[in-house]
Structure 1
Amino acid sequence: MALDRGLIDWVAEALAADGSVTHRRMMGGATLYLDGIIFAIVGGDGSLWFKSDAESDAAYDAADCARFTHERGDGTVASMNYRRAPEDCYDDGEALRNWALLGVAAGRRARVKRKKKNV
């Protein structure tokens, strides 16, 4: 499936006052960053997923936003700390901005994984 560049542009427009949105292609979709902070995934199917954590989960639960899951090679299902964007994000720029900023906040709180140095 093709990457939904229109959705990426929509997110960038909604967050223009907050910083610069960039993206990197990933497995048919893209990861989205606001000034270098990862905050969302755009799926190859045009779905939008915001980064979440223990602090933001209650808001996503209240809006009935599903967790991001994927099937591993061994057939087990794994989840990641991303939640599906509420439907109003696709046509309401202010709602999109509010939810995206929850994802940005979770991205800022996330522990950065550092590569181990070979000694």
Structure 2
Amino acid sequence: MSVSEADIAFALELFEGLGPLSTRRMMGGLCLYRDGVIFALLRSDGSLWLKGSGAFAARVTAEGWERWTHARTGQRPTAMPYWRLPDAALDDPDHACNLAREALRDLT
């Protein structure tokens, strides 16, 4: 299954406050970039995930955000560096953009 055009439009509108974004379809989903740096994934189920490292990753882990894990057939699940955007941020573009900016600070 691939990501829907409606979900892509929603994600781009949600993060519009970050300035110009670019995207790339990948593995049935969509990667979102700001200034060439990937900061979020839009999965085919419509869920949005922020990429994290450093202080941002530590904070969202401590807050209990859901972390994306990937399991290949016959192998143990691997924790990926992406955390699901909280529902409150999905309804608040300012909040979503602030979280994305925080994530980007540790990614650049």
Structure of greater relative contact order (alpha carbons < 8 Å, 6+ residues apart): 2
Letter in 1 for 2:80: M
In the aligned structure 2, how far is the partner of 1:31 from the partner of 1:86? 18
Query: Which structure is higher in helix share?
Result: 2
Letter in 2 for 1:54: G
Correspondence list, 1:96-115, <5 A: 96-108=96-108
Aligned length: 108
In the aligned structure 2, how far is the partner of 1:44 from the partner of 1:17? 23
1:14-36 Cα offsets, whole Å, 9 max, x none, are: 44343211111111111110121
Instruction: Compute the TM-score of the two structures, normalised by the length of structure 2.
Output: 0.84
| CA RMSD after TM alignment | 1.9
Q: Which residue does the alignment assign to 2:37?
A: 37
8 Å CA contact retained: 2:68, 2:79: yes
Identity in percent: 34
Over 3 Å counting, the alpha-carbon distance change for 1:4 and 1:106 in structure 2 is: farther
Q: Which residue does the alignment assign to 2:4?
A: 4
Specify every segment of 5 or more residues in structure 1 that has no aligned partner in the other structure, as ranges: 109-119
* SS across alignment from 1:64: coil
Q: Larger C-alpha radius of gyration, 1 or 2?
A: 1
Instruction: Compute the TM-score of the two structures, normalised by the length of structure 1.
Output: 0.77
Specify every segment of 5 or more residues in structure 2 that has no aligned partner in the other structure, as ranges: none
